[in-house]
Amino acid sequence: MGVPAFFRWLSRKYPSIIVHCVEEKGKECNGVRIPVDTTKPNPNEVEFDNLYLDMNGIIHPCTHPEDKPAPKNEDEMMVAIFEYIDRLFNIVRPRRVLYMAIDGVAPRAKMNQQRSRRFRASKEGVELVDEKQRMREEIIQRGGYLPPEEIKERFDSNCITPGTEFMDNLAHCLRYYVAERLSNDPGWKNVVVFLSDASVPGEGEHKIMDFIRRQRAQPNHDPNTHHCLCGADADLIMLGLATHEPNFTIIREEFKPNKPRPCSLCGQTGHEMKDCQGVAREKQGQHDEFADTMPVSEQEFIFIRLCVLREYLERELTMASLPFPFDFERSVDDWVFMCFFVGNDFLPHLPSLEIREGAIDRLVNIYKDVVHKTGGYLTQNGYVNLERVEMIMQAVGVAEDNIFKKRKEDEENFRRRNKEKRKRMKVEQQGPAYLTTGQFAPQALGRRDVPEPIQNARHQAYDMRMNPREQNNKNAAQSLKAMLRNEGSSSSGANESQDRRAPKRKAEDSDSDPEPEDNVRLWEDGWKQRYYKNKFDVDVTDSDFRKKVVQSYVEGLCWVLRYYYQGCASWKWYFPFHYAPFASDFKDIKEMFTEFEKDTMPFKPLEQLMSVFPAASGNFLPPTWRNLMVSPESSIIDFYPDDFAIDLNGKKYAWQGVALLPFVDERRLRAALAEVYPDLTPEEARRNSLGSDVLFVGKSHPLYDFIHELYRDECNKGTVVPPELCFGIQGLLNLDNNPVLPDKPVKSPIPTLRDISQSTAVSVKFKDPEFAVGYVFKAVLLPGAKIPTKVLKPGDWERGNRGPWRPQLGFNPNRQQAHLDQSGFRALGHSLNRNQQGGGQYSNTPPPGTYHQGSYRPQHAGGHRGFQHSRPNPQLGASQPYQQPQFSRHQQQPPQYSGGGHGWNRVVQSQPSAYQQNANRDRGGPRHAGYQQPHDHWQDRQDDRRGNRGQPQQGYGSSRSYPPPPPSRRWN
Amino acid sequence: MAAQRGGDDPVSEYLQQNPHLAGWVDSLRGFCETSKQWSARREFILRNMEGQGVPAAQPGAHSPSLDSLLSLSMVWANHVFLGCSYPPSVMDKIKEMGEGIAVQDAPTHKTTKAKGKRSAGTEGESDSYVKRNKGGTNDLEARSSGRTAVRPSSQKSAPPPQAPAEHQPFFNRLYKAVAWKLVSAGGFGPNLDHFEVLRSCVESCKQTLTCVFVPLKDITGLPAVRAQKEGHVCELRCLTVYMGTGYGRDESAARAMASKEALKVFQGRKVTVKICRRRFRGRDVDDLMLLDEQPRSQGFPPALSYPFQEEQLEGGSPQRSTV
């Protein structure tokens, strides 16, 4: 979904949905890599049945990564993709199905977004190159140093679009990859692999949904299948909820904000291109030994447990005293529907609903009201009740005025706060103007060297006064003098002296960020009129036009919901405007939508390329087709502007704005293409045709012999999969023209990888089960589905007198807690005591109350209550008595000892081991109010470890009893 | 729909006389087109039908020549209403075809060079000189962009004699603004972003700066030594008053140089707006110039644009960088 904020909002509001992945890494022994045995139980203590990969979320980071050097050629990209899939496979370890779906031709509704992205990518690419060139010249003129420009073809990410040669190659490579793994990797041997490449129409995630939906609707489906879907898009969460499968988990890369990116000019991190100075690279490590190591850690993965989200939603949506029994499943569907209002890939979001401003909470409140009033839900099985939607919209419409005013207010507050913060930071960075030096120099608490007693204090003080080397102090004194002088002169009025201080300060005040001009000014009266005038170029009185916009939007809402619950209702429909109407414009919408056009067909791959590519990407198309994009005689030249306006629409960055691109006229496109169709080579015609999903199985799979038999019989009819052979999965099998066959070699399409001399896999075309034309897929829990055990703390837990609540941190509610037994403690104590001669002068004293922002409260009575960085958590102290020699690795914060056992902490701190990662990872549990927090801690540890690399014996916590200082102090 | 606006509009009048055309042409209207856009595009289609050899046919019948006309009409409309631009050959064509169609206050869109992601800092750079319809630059813009917007009718081939006096107060204010800005930036020097300084000052005085770019190779009559092939020349004006000219390898370098030249004028004790004679396209013309007090050793560089000109005098007008 085009709402980057959605996931952040969700994970903050419902923190327990996130579980950090435990990943077993491959080991290396004498230079030989030992792969992980994925037949072993999943270290996440859960077994998944099906793993679905939305491949575009994998292809993009693998082909043009943002945090590491880009692969040099296509082969390296493919290998990167394979490795990425391997990694996911190792984490998830599916036992039944691996489904790989690459985006195929998308519905028209989506194509407009794709078009806008590709046109922008192309425009940005050109501008980046220009900008780079300009900066380069400037820096070199100033005498800066820049590494020579690499002569490298820029990877045009636009080629990740169905129909290009790249996508064709990718499909080819993935076939090889699957055959290779099925033949050689024991973890894959019982897995059925589906590959839906770019030649199969539909967006990747929706092809996956279609698969799940159709499997659910057939009688052999196992209602307790555990699905795991990989992808970062927020709409996967919606899609997962829309399936109504009780066990549905999403895996995605952990979102890390503000990761450092190397400057694209000099390749160093720490600044952006526009600030590049062209200074020589700093040595990494003493002898530049870390030159090629990226300072960023490898991306971690997280699970998003939709069953936990369902628990949260149940709490939030349940309505008491309804005139009819409350149906949670229906209300989930309504919730999903309301999330579309704040943004989706197919419609621009309503101006008044902004996810950051709590739009969804607002909608939920209104929704409950509406359900009470009308006695029914908004949607059923993906069909919308427009009358009830209108009530919701009207309720939002009433508040619209205030929302806009409040938005402006918040924005101004935010800007003011930011400015103040900047000011504060500046003062902090400057540090004190005067510092005592020598013996009197301030010393950090808890450092190893014990301060000496002061000797000859008078002499030292004299030194400090007189020593000319203390430049800082001298400056401080001078500026003080200057200030005094200035005061004197300003009174006399003639401030002719070129004192730079005063005007400079003034300039800083005035140069607040240039704000983009906003003509609409939604916060002022007359906003509606201005909005329609500015955005649509019509008068507010033109109600026909307004109605048209609203009608299209209503159609859009119906289309999107249907798309999520029933599949693509119309390949043709799209929202033909660049902006959304206001909520208050939704009047009399009940009659606005009846049905979509039936039997629409998706575009062919090359047709889609013609409608989403700018002329600059024309090289992916045959010459005569390309010519239609540039020639003044072309009858579709209007689709291909070489530059276009971007309306920031109140946003700050160009990429958030609206690209004002013309829409494609399908009729004219087809007419123009009809003339160049004969120019396609057979190869291009093949790429332009629609393909089919392919199913692969390995030798030991029960379906293997069945398929093998089909090939021997050369059975040309479609054959139904016998469900008992394949975990109840159904579908139609057709012989593949170019199959992977048992005991036949498979040639490697990548020079660096070996051919498979004897493949033991077999592939066959697969088609999802078909249903009758008017069939409606039911959005309900299936009979026999078992709801997983609850994770959230029941609201009445305290009353139940059941002892302290133990939050569940992973998948397994009865997780074995790790602990050290007595011998372990003996060993620790033994090795630690030896190194602890000094013991740290403060180790037996509690830190002063001001340390750590005062969140530490000395608890002498118990003596063993841990304190935390973030916030007091009374439960922790109560439920985890630390006297016990039992240490859970689930504890949020390593316990702090004020007594004898302070060694434990130290070991954790200084051990760069997997153990530590686990300890960290497990902390993302329900106790965390915010999802961000684990990052900070994690980062914290990362830094520690880096610091420890050189001198492993001096961990931060080695001789102290409180945690390391926040990393910012040390590393900035 | 525009057809109902009454008979004073020649297009509606024409359609009333040719009712068979009216039905046909209305079948070409796009679903999301506003009345205003449609009536303009309809005029474009009707005017160019014959030139493109399009027979008026039954609604729904399409021929390649019609499609090509439709496409050009969309190019024109996208350019006027959405702010899209197309390759030069296409633009030239639609400029010609759209000649004479009047569009009342067309929306203004900026093709602000969308700076690469997350570099908001540079955003402000280019939007100042694409703001339209401000100051006296209307006609110049309209011409160069192929827009056929309404033009001020009172055009003379020389600036009005009272113009210097009219503009002088503004430049006095600008002089102060520049002086303060330079003080706060640490004085006039080579490391300033001269354009940025000038732009922000002009904007703080509520005016806009106009840049005109001409590729060096398009300038005739240069001494042979200077006749390099590459590079651009930029001329800056504000309120039609000439401020400076600069040359650079690309447009932004030229602009920076022109701004530097303009700022040099502000280094004197005051600035004055005067009417001076200078060359423009091989002729001597009177132009409004911003001058300091120093006696000039050389003459002025030839003008690249001339905002006080009769219409028929111009041939190709200089290309503005961003439209």
Task: Give the model's pLDDT for residue A593.
Answer: 86
By C-alpha distance, the chain B residue nearest A505 is: B184
| CB within 8 Å: B111 and A645 | yes
| CB within 8 Å: A645 and B81 | no
Residue A6: inside a domain: no
Task: Give the model's pLDDT for residue A941.
Answer: 44
Does A545 touch chain B if contact means CB atoms closer than 8 Å? yes
| The amino acid at A184 | N
CB-nearest partner of A274 from B84, B87, B119: B119
- Based on the fold, state whether residues A95 and A224 are members of the same structural domain: yes
- Based on the fold, state whether residues A960 and A885 are members of the same structural domain: yes
Q: Specify whether the CB–CB gap between A170 and A689 falls below 8 A.
A: no
A104, A194, A211, A239, A296 from A207: Cα distances, Å: 9, 11, 6, 11, 34
Does A637 touch chain B if contact means CB atoms closer than 8 Å? yes
**b/e map of A816-855 (b: 16 or more CB within 10 Å)?**
eeeeeeeeeeeebeeebeeeeeeebbbbeebbeeeebeee
Q: What is the pLDDT of residues A849-877, one digit of tens each?
A: 444 444 444 444 444 443 444 444 444 44
Q: What is the pLDDT of residues A87-116, one digit of tens each?
A: 999 999 999 999 999 999 999 999 989 999
- Based on the fold, state whether residues A697 and A780 are members of the same structural domain: yes
CB-nearest partner of B252 from A134, A504, A662: A134
Using a CB-CB distance cutoff of 8 angstroms, which residues of chain B are in contact with residue A542? 34-35
Q: What is the Cα–Cα distance from A328 to A308, expressed in whole angstroms? A: 14
Q: Specify whether the CB–CB gap between A596 and A569 falls below 8 A.
A: yes
Using a CB-CB distance cutoff of 8 angstroms, which residues of chain B are in contact with residue A661? 82, 84
Using a CB-CB distance cutoff of 8 angstroms, which residues of chain B are in contact with residue A119? none
- Based on the fold, state whether residues A659 and A738 are members of the same structural domain: no
Angle among Cα A160, A166, A172 to the nearest 5 degrees reads 120
- Based on the fold, state whether residues A723 and A850 are members of the same structural domain: no
Q: Specify whether the CB–CB gap between B113 and B250 falls below 8 A.
A: no
Q: Which of these ranges, A142-151, A432-441, A590-599, has the smallest mean pLDDT?
A: A142-151
| CB within 8 Å: B36 and A637 | no
Q: How far is A901 from chain B (nearest CA, A)?
A: 49
The residue of B66, B95, B113 whose CB has the most chain A CBs within 10 angstroms, and thus the best one to mutate to test that interface, is: B113
Q: Work out how many CB contacts closer than 8 A connect A with B.
A: 145
- Owner of token pair 């526009």: A274
Q: Specify whether the CB–CB gap between A845 and A962 falls below 8 A.
A: no
DSSP character string of A892-941: SSPPPPSSTTTHHHHHHHH--SHHHHHHHHGGGSTT-S-SSHHHHHHHHH
Touching B: A residues 465-504, CB under 8 Å: 500, 503-504
Does A516 touch chain B if contact means CB atoms closer than 8 Å? yes
Average pLDDT score over chain A: 78
Residue A327 is encoded by which pair of tokens? Answer: 């149906």
Q: With CA atoms as reference, report the closest residue to A594 among A386, A781, A399, A432.
A: A386
Q: How far is A767 from chain B (nearest CA, A)?
A: 37
Locate the DSSP E strands across A729-776: 732-734, 762-767
| CB within 8 Å: A644 and B82 | yes
Task: Give the model's pLDDT for residue A944.
Answer: 44
CB-nearest partner of A662 from B78, B115, B180: B78
Q: Where are the domains of chain B?
A: 2-98, 125-313
Using a CB-CB distance cutoff of 8 angstroms, which residues of chain A are in contact with residue B60? none
Q: A210 or A480: which carries more pLDDT confidence? A: A210
CB-nearest partner of B78 from A503, A516, A641: A641
| The amino acid at A461 | A
Total domain count, chain A:
4
Q: How far is A136 from chain B (nearest CA, A)?
A: 13
Q: How confident is the model at residue A476 (pLDDT cuts 50, 70, 90)?
A: low
Q: What is the Cα–Cα distance from B319 to B137, expressed in whole angstroms? A: 14
Q: What is the pLDDT of residues B30-74, one digit of tens each?
A: 888 888 889 889 889 888 887 777 766 666 677 888 888 899 999
| CB within 8 Å: B68 and A635 | yes
Task: Give the model's pLDDT for residue A911.
Answer: 41
Average pLDDT over residues A834-863: 46
The distance of Cα A680 from the centroid of its chain, to the nearest Å, equals 40
Q: What is the Cα–Cα distance from A360 to A336, expressed in whole angstroms? A: 10
Q: What is the Cα–Cα distance from A82 to A89, expressed in whole angstroms? A: 10
Task: Give the model's pLDDT for residue A553.
Answer: 93
**Cβ neighbours for A825, distance < 8 A, ≥ 6 positions apart:** A885, A901
**Position A935 pLDDT exceeds 50:** no
Residue A565: inside a domain: yes
Average pLDDT over residues A229-253: 90
Task: Give the model's pLDDT for residue A340.
Answer: 86
Q: What is the pLDDT of residues A571-585, one digit of tens each?
A: 999 999 999 999 999
- Based on the fold, state whether residues A43 and A169 are members of the same structural domain: yes
Which of A71-85, A270-284, A422-436, A464-478 shows the highest mean pLDDT? A71-85
Touching B: A residues 662-691, CB under 8 Å: 662-663, 665, 667-668, 671-672, 675
Q: What is the Cα–Cα distance from A644 to A661, expressed in whole angstroms? A: 7
Q: How far is A773 from chain B (nearest CA, A)?
A: 30
Q: Specify whether the CB–CB gap between B307 and B137 falls below 8 A.
A: yes
Torsion angle of the four alpha carbons A11, A16, A18, A24, in this order, in degrees rounded to the nearest 10: 160
Torsion angle of the four alpha carbons B123, B128, B133, B139, in this order, in degrees rounded to the nearest 10: -120
**Three-state DSSP class for residue A344:** coil
Q: What is the Cα–Cα distance from A828 to B85, expressed in whole angstroms? A: 72
CB-nearest partner of B122 from A120, A123, A274: A274
Q: What is the Cα–Cα distance from A36 to A185, expressed in whole angstroms? A: 10
Using a CB-CB distance cutoff of 8 angstroms, which residues of chain B are in contact with residue A647? 109
Which of A20-24, A558-562, B294-298, B316-320 shows the highest mean pLDDT? A558-562
Using a CB-CB distance cutoff of 8 angstroms, which residues of chain A are in contact with residue B126? none
Torsion angle of the four alpha carbons A827, A832, A835, A837, in this order, in degrees rounded to the nearest 10: -120
- Based on the fold, state whether residues A663 and A711 are members of the same structural domain: no
Q: What is the Cα–Cα distance from A584 to A398, expressed in whole angstroms? A: 7
Q: Domain ends where: A687, A716, A740?
A: A687
Q: How confident is the model at residue B127 (pLDDT cuts 50, 70, 90)?
A: very low
Q: A487 or B27: which carries more pLDDT confidence? A: B27
Q: What is the pLDDT of residues A893-933, one digit of tens each?
A: 444 444 444 434 444 344 444 344 444 444 444 444 444 44
By C-alpha distance, the chain B residue nearest A640 is: B86
| CB within 8 Å: B123 and A514 | yes
| CB within 8 Å: B82 and A507 | no
**Position A760 pLDDT exceeds 70:** yes
Residue A552: inside a domain: yes
Which of A61-75, A500-514, A600-614, B244-258 shows the highest mean pLDDT? A600-614
- Based on the fold, state whether residues A54 and A169 are members of the same structural domain: yes
Q: How far is A490 from chain B (nearest CA, A)?
A: 18
Average pLDDT over residues B268-293: 84
Residue A8 is encoded by which pair of tokens? Answer: 């952040």
- Based on the fold, state whether residues A90 and A174 are members of the same structural domain: yes
Does A536 touch chain B if contact means CB atoms closer than 8 Å? yes
Residue A540: inside a domain: yes
Task: Give the model's pLDDT for residue B112.
Answer: 45
| CB within 8 Å: B70 and A668 | yes
Average pLDDT over residues A418-439: 79
Average pLDDT score over chain B: 73
Touching B: A residues 265-284, CB under 8 Å: 272-274
- Owner of token pair 């946003």: A651
| CB within 8 Å: A645 and B78 | no
Task: Give the model's pLDDT for residue A640.
Answer: 93
Average pLDDT over residues A18-43: 87
The CATH number that applies at residue A655 is 1.25.40
Count of beta carbons in the 10 Å neighbourhood of residue A364: 18
Q: How far is B314 from chain A (nearest CA, A)?
A: 25
Q: Are strands A97-101 and A192-196 parallel, antiparallel or unpaired?
A: parallel
**Position A126 pLDDT exceeds 50:** yes
Residue A592: inside a domain: no
**Position A166 pLDDT exceeds 80:** yes
By C-alpha distance, the chain B residue nearest A537 is: B107
Share of chain A above pLDDT 70, in %: 73
Range of the domain at A667: 605-687
Using a CB-CB distance cutoff of 8 angstroms, which residues of chain B are in contact with residue A128? 116
Q: What is the Cα–Cα distance from A407 to B267, expressed in whole angstroms? A: 44
The CATH number of the structural domain formed by B125-313 is 3.30.160.20
Locate the DSSP E strands across A591-639: none
CB-nearest partner of B67 from A503, A513, A672: A672
Q: What is the pLDDT of residues A587-642, one digit of tens each?
A: 988 888 888 888 889 999 999 999 999 998 888 899 999 999 988 888 999 999 98
**Cβ neighbours for A106, distance < 8 A, ≥ 6 positions apart:** A114, A201, A202, A203, A608
**Cβ neighbours for A32, distance < 8 A, ≥ 6 positions apart:** none
Average pLDDT over residues A353-364: 88
Q: What is the Cα–Cα distance from A956 to A919, expressed in whole angstroms? A: 17
Does A128 touch chain B if contact means CB atoms closer than 8 Å? yes
**Cβ neighbours for A641, distance < 8 A, ≥ 6 positions apart:** A661, A662, B78, B84, B85, B86
Q: Could you tell me the end-to-end alpha-carbon distance of chain A, in angstroms, rounded to an integer?
A: 36
By C-alpha distance, the chain B residue nearest A519 is: B108
| CB within 8 Å: A642 and B184 | no
- Based on the fold, state whether residues A827 and A941 are members of the same structural domain: yes
Q: Which of these ranges, A475-479, A653-657, B130-134, has the smallest mean pLDDT?
A: B130-134
Task: Give the model's pLDDT for residue A897.
Answer: 42
Q: Specify whether the CB–CB gap between A194 and A694 falls below 8 A.
A: yes
Share of chain A above pLDDT 90, in %: 32
**Position B117 pLDDT exceeds 50:** no
By C-alpha distance, the chain B residue nearest A646 is: B111
Touching B: A residues 560-599, CB under 8 Å: 576-577
Q: What is the pLDDT of residues B250-268, one digit of tens each?
A: 888 889 889 988 888 888 8
| CB within 8 Å: B85 and A545 | no
- Based on the fold, state whether residues A356 and A376 are members of the same structural domain: yes
Q: What is the Cα–Cα distance from A584 to A397, expressed in whole angstroms? A: 4
Q: Are strands A27-29 and A50-54 parallel, antiparallel or unpaired?
A: unpaired
- Based on the fold, state whether residues A558 and A639 are members of the same structural domain: no
The residue of A122, A643, A663 whose CB has the most chain B CBs within 10 angstroms, and thus the best one to mutate to test that interface, is: A643
CB-nearest partner of B82 from A274, A552, A660: A660
Residue A138: inside a domain: no
Longest dimension (CA), chain A: 108
Output the 3-class SS for chain B: CHHHHCCCCHHHHHHHHCHHHHHHHHCCCCCCCCHHHHHHHHHHHHHHCCCCCCCCCCCCCCCHHHHHHHHHHHHHHHHHHHCCECCHHHHHHHHHHHCCCCCCCCCCCCCCCCCCCCCHHHCHHHHHHHCCCCCCCHHHHHHHHCCCCCCCCCCCCCCCCCHHHHHHHHHHHHHHHHHHHHHHCCCCCCCCCHHHHHHHHHHHCCCCEEEEEEEHHHCCCCCHHHCCCCCEEEEEEECCEEEEEEEECCHHHHHHHHHHHHHHHCCCCCCEEEEEEEEECCEEEEEEEEECCCCCCCCCCCECCCCCCCHHHCCCCCCCCCC
Q: How far is A341 from chain B (nearest CA, A)?
A: 21
**Position A210 pLDDT exceeds 90:** yes
Q: Which of these ranges, A142-151, A451-460, A726-735, B173-182, has the smallest mean pLDDT?
A: A142-151
Count of beta carbons in the 10 Å neighbourhood of residue A937: 19
Task: Give the model's pLDDT for residue A279.
Answer: 64
Residue A39: inside a domain: yes
DSSP character string of A269-290: SSS-GGG---PPPPPSSTTSTT
**Position A377 pLDDT exceeds 50:** yes
Residue A254: inside a domain: yes
Count of beta carbons in the 10 Å neighbourhood of residue A684: 17
Q: How confident is the model at residue A275 (pLDDT cuts 50, 70, 90)?
A: low
Q: What is chain B's length?
A: 323
| CB within 8 Å: B75 and A637 | yes
